[in-house]
Amino acid sequence: MDFNILKPKKAVEAAFEKPNIVFALVLVLLPPIASIAIASFSGILAGIERIAYSIVMAYVGFFLLAIIIFVIGWLLNSASVKGKAAGFLSALSLAQIISLAIIVLSFITFPIIVSPQASALMLGGGQLAPEAQAIEMKAIIDQNPAAINYYALGAMLVVTAALMVWGIYIMYLAVKKLTGSKALVALVITLVALFILGSLPL
């Protein structure tokens, strides 16, 4: 596998030519582990059940998305998807690098976007009901509009959106390679599969 997602076409091609399921499964594991590590670093300790749930759901989401795409691809062109399971899973897992990047970006930019007072409320808000936490946060922002750096927040959201589009592009390339479809068909398959996954009660 080639993990250089700055050259996504080459990385996806390499994943199909030299698939590695072990590395694919490790990539799927990285985002939830990073989220748990960052939460712990911030003082929010997760229980064993929460950690296990995060990891299980990461794999459930990944394999459900793969299955949905496989089914659609098989219905459209069963001959093309045959024998490409390992390559497709390897290629699809490359999008997890984007998820990891978004998580790390959020952690790095959090102190820039949120003031220490608002940050303390967010990180310690687990002791409050969501409604109470929202009221407290609104009060802090009303008293100090600079509690949230909206310019930094906007910049972070733009970068996050760009990263998400990049991740979808990687998925699209993997779907196109799997199904042998034209560009528009592969894009529709990708978006439909993501919509179906997002509609499931996970």
Q: Which pLDDT value is given to residue 91?
A: 96
Q: List, for residues 87-104, the tens digit of each pLDDT value.
A: 999 999 999 999 999 999
Residue 93 lies in a domain: yes
Radius of gyration of the chain from Cα atoms?
20
Residue 133 lies in a domain: no
Residue 172 lies in a domain: yes
Residue 127 lies in a domain: no
Range of the domain at 156: 8-114+149-199
Residue 20 lies in a domain: yes
Query: How many separate domains does the chain show?
Result: 1
pLDDT at 194 over 70: yes
State the chain's mean pLDDT as an integer.
Answer: 86
Q: List, for residues 101-137, the tens digit of each pLDDT value.
A: 999 998 888 888 876 665 655 555 445 455 555 666 5
**What is the CB neighbour count within 10 angstroms for residue 93?**
27
pLDDT at 181 over 80: yes
pLDDT at 84 over 90: yes
Residue 104 lies in a domain: yes
Q: Which pLDDT value is given to residue 172?
A: 97
Q: Which pLDDT value is given to residue 141?
A: 64
The pLDDT-based confidence of 42 (bands split at 50, 70, 90) is: low
In whole angstroms, what is the distance from residue 82 CA to residue 87 CA?
A: 11
Category of 2 on φ-ψ map: left (φ > 0), alpha (ψ -120 to 50) or beta: beta
pTM: 0.84
Q: Which pLDDT value is given to residue 113?
A: 82
Residue 125 lies in a domain: no
Residue 57 lies in a domain: yes
